[in-house]
A = this chain, B = another copy of it.
């Protein structure tokens, strides 16, 4: 662990503050010979960007990214791939009212105490704007996975108490992008959107659950004992802003069943050995077993609400805060590509690591 780097062989190091000059990163360890698809990655960024619909923040940021190295005539060369997105409106807004104040459930207080200084403009490094770097690097990872036919697809499974209560294999995940909440069931999607509109009117916020499904993983990814595939995925997800929980396969629901009910029975099918059920979530003993890998990620409601809140300032004096600007009533739709990106980073890294398993 080292804070701003992620991965062992396919390694992202990210940088940037919300209102600093730029956000970006370096990918060290991308294999040579990969055809870079800039449009694909720019489109991944579009899935994350603010202002994409009326239920996300209305801030306009174009988030055009640039590769600075590691690619020659459209092909990766094996050298570090640096990239950046310039922050367009980095001085457009006055954040001086936050200079001395600690917003509830934000990182203001903890950064201040940890470092003795903090960039209070738009949250600085603790802003979810930092995930721009993850989505770009995740896009590159997805291109690697595509070469191996591995897909990573996330969708919004729950917003508040509105829940898409179906197993993913009964869903058409290609429909996820067909609505602004990124839920592959149109009816539930519509309910979610209506609910978020309500919440927004109240000046409040709401959280939810994203499910991510990884298909066509080869058997053998994951590095026991500490770097089990599930541990690496959980670590990746819990490093995303606002995430409070992670579960894989049967997850927390596993407590409601006996071993005899939950065990996944092996069988020999057309594609070789697989399991009749998949309560393991595609991972056994920390290693992928070839079945779909699926997991849930819980996001808390956005901490910034459009209501007055009590707090204290850095002198310990009581204050009343009122949010300014345009904020997300619900981050879920924009978090879908972030979840996919972090999962893709894990899978690409594990794929490379697995090349050393055998002599």
Contacts and interface: CB of A to CB of B under 8 A. Distances in A.
Interface in A114-143: 114-119, 124-126, 130
Contacts of A58: none
A69 to B, nearest CB: 4
| Interface range for A | 35 or more
A114 B26 contact: no
Contact of A77 (B125, B225, B244): B125
A155 interface: no
A79 B246 contact: no
Interface string A294-313: 00101111111101011110
A5 B1 contact: no
A301 B251 contact: no
Interface in A243-257: 243-252, 254-257
Contacts of A125: 69, 77, 79, 224-225
Contacts of A304: 259
A116 B35 CA distance: 13
B259 A109 contact: no
Copies of this chain held together in the complex: 4
B284 A354 contact: no
A4 to B, nearest CB: 5
A141 to B, nearest CB: 12
Nearest to A283: B110
Contact of A78 (B16, B115, B158): B115
A114 B354 contact: yes
B80 A288 contact: no
A100 B260 CA distance: 22
B312 A273 contact: yes
A48 interface: no
B238 A246 contact: yes
A66 B245 CA distance: 38
Interface string A226-254: 11101111111111000111111111101
A304 B34 CA distance: 31
A5 B5 CA distance: 10
A244 B299 CA distance: 18
Contact of A301 (B158, B234, B257, B352): B257
A3 interface: yes
A358 B252 CA distance: 39
Contacts of A232: 1, 235
Interface stretch (A168-176, A183-191, A204-212): A204-212
21 contacts: A4-B224, A22-B68, A32-B116, A72-B124, A75-B117, A77-B118, A78-B115, A82-B84, A110-B286, A115-B358, A116-B358, A202-B258, A205-B259, A225-B239, A230-B244, A231-B235, A231-B239, A244-B249, A254-B298, A265-B309, A355-B355
